[in-house]
């Protein structure tokens, strides 16, 4: 008799509950108290409700509803489960009235069209609540400890895949501090015009110190090679990113002095590298943030302008061959320069090397297409 009395209470309570939905969707059935399974479709189950009661008269998942209308279902873009909680009062048999809010686990299974992959992360949202869940290999999802407030209106528990983060590729560039101060005793408003980088007229002479940096275009700039605040006199430049985006090859030119820069007898308050004693190539690993010099660099060699052939092989310009250009224009090559050196400098020839395994070789026409 006690069990029959319990059953009578549950049935009477269920029949006393509203059997119609809000006007917008009231023509569609609802599934009260626990589980909904549409033929050939999804299965929804409420579990571990904080409103469950165990006693002489017990109940489980009471007041929890799934709306089985046209919004219920899944497609390749999303899963929608309209659900609601409505507190039940006056159940008798010493059963306490249900609270105005409840926490419950919502399990959704047999999700076919959404195409779940075991272990993938899925976003969910229910009103102001949101989170992520992991897909199970049985094509199911489970939200734990969802808070639901008593209401006669349904609200969709919606599952979607995370929006892929737009890939923003970082850029690598040479950065020089700008000398933007006025020059006393002159009409020069800033000295930046005399801060030189490599160009057609200045290859290895008269260069301003500079750093090589990587910028993620989100406000974060990281120095790859520091020359401007280093005791070493150098210029880091010519950064090139590898085809797979994992490495940066670059050149660092060194000098044994910094020389004040003068213009028409006026000290501009800035300094430059009057010449390069040598220049070396480095490779920077973006993941580990470690720079490593390319091995096999001869003392005094000037290695510049690296370019990638593939992710392991580079081309670069160098004066390692110690070959001099033809003196076809005396004004360019005869006499001494401002440093007292002969104007006939070493030619810079193209060379090829593997970053880690093979020695460097000079490139001729028959070598360019090798490997």
State pLDDT tens for residues 309-362: 898 888 888 888 776 554 444 455 555 555 555 544 444 555 656 655 445 555
For residues 183 and 318, state if they share a domain: yes
| Global pTM exceeds 0.95 | no
Domain contains 82? yes
Q: How many domains does the chain have?
A: 2
Radius of gyration of the chain (CA): 37
State pLDDT tens for residues 95-104: 899 999 999 9
Domain contains 53? yes
State pLDDT tens for residues 195-253: 777 766 677 888 889 999 999 888 899 999 999 999 999 999 999 999 988 999 999 99
For residues 180 and 242, state if they share a domain: yes
Domain contains 256? yes
Domain contains 369? no
The domain boundary residue, chosen from 160, 189, 220:
160
For residues 142 and 9, state if they share a domain: yes
In this predicted structure, the answer to whether residue 158 has a pLDDT above a threshold of 90 is: yes
For residues 116 and 179, state if they share a domain: no
Mean pLDDT of 112-137: 92
Q: What percent of the chain has pLDDT over 90?
A: 39
The domain boundary residue, chosen from 102, 128, 160:
160
For residues 95 and 180, state if they share a domain: no
Q: How far apart are CA 119 and CA 139, in angstroms?
A: 10
The residue range of the domain holding 18 is 2-160
Among the residue ranges 20-24, 173-177, 266-270, 344-348, the one predicted with the least confidence is 20-24
Cα–Cα distance list, 179 to 90, 113, 182, 192, 255 (Å): 82, 62, 9, 5, 21
Give the pLDDT confidence score for residue 334 in this predicted structure.
53
Q: What percent of the chain has pLDDT over 70?
A: 75
Mean pLDDT of 64-89: 88
Quote the DSSP letter at residue 128. Answer: T
Kindly report the backbone phi and psi dihedral angles of residue 332, in degrees, each rounded to the nearest multiple of 5, phi listed first: -85, -30
Cβ atoms of residues 142 and 160 within 8 Å: no
Tokens of 291: 């720079």
Domain contains 370? no
Mean pLDDT of 121-147: 93
Give the pLDDT confidence score for residue 1 in this predicted structure.
36
In this predicted structure, the answer to whether residue 188 has a pLDDT above a threshold of 70 is: yes
For residues 184 and 136, state if they share a domain: no
């Amino acid at each position: 008799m006690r069990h029959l009395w319990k059953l009578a209470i549950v049935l009477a309570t269920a029949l006393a509950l509203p059997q119609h939905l809000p006007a917008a969707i009231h023509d569609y059935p609802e599934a009260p108290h626990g589980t909904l399974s549409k033929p050939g479709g999804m299965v929804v189950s409420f579990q571990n409700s904080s409103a469950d009661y165990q006693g002489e008269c017990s109940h489980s998942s009471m007041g929890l509803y799934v709306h089985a209308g046209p919004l219920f279902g899944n497609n390749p873009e999303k899963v929608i489960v309209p659900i609601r909680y409505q507190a039940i009062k006056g159940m008798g048999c010493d059963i306490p009235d249900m609270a105005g809010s409840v926490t419950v686990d919502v399990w959704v299974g047999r999700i076919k069209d959404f195409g779940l992959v075991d272990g993938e992360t899925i976003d969910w949202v229910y009103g102001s609540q949101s989170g992520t869940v992991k897909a199970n290999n049985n094509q199911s999802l489970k939200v734990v400890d969802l808070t639901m407030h008593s209401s006669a209106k349904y609200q969709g528990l919606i599952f979607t895949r995370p929006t892929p983060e737009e890939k923003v590729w970082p850029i690598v560039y040479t950065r020089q501090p700008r000398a933007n101060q006025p020059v006393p005793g002159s009409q020069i408003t800033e000295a930046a015009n005399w801060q030189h980088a490599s160009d057609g007229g200045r290859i290895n002479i008269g260069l301003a110190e500079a750093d090589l940096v990587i910028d993620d275009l989100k406000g974060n700039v990281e120095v790859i090679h520091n020359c401007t605040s280093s005791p070493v006199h150098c210029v880091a430049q010519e950064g090139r990113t590898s085809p797979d985006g994992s490495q940066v090859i670059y050149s660092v030119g060194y000098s044994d002095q910094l020389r004040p820069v003068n213009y028409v007898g006026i000290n501009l308050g800035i300094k430059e590298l009057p010449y390069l004693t040598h220049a070396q190539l480095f490779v920077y690993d973006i993941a580990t943030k470690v720079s490593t010099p390319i091995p096999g660099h001869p003392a005094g060699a000037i290695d510049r302008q690296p370019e990638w052939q593939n992710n392991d092989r580079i081309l670069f310009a160098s004066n390692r061959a110690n070959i001099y250009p033809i003196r076809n224009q005396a004004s360019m090559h005869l006499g001494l320069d401002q440093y007292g050196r002969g104007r006939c400098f070493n030619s810079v020839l193209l060379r090829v090397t593997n970053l880690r395994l093979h020695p460097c070789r000079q490139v001729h026409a028959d070598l360019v297409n090798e490997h």
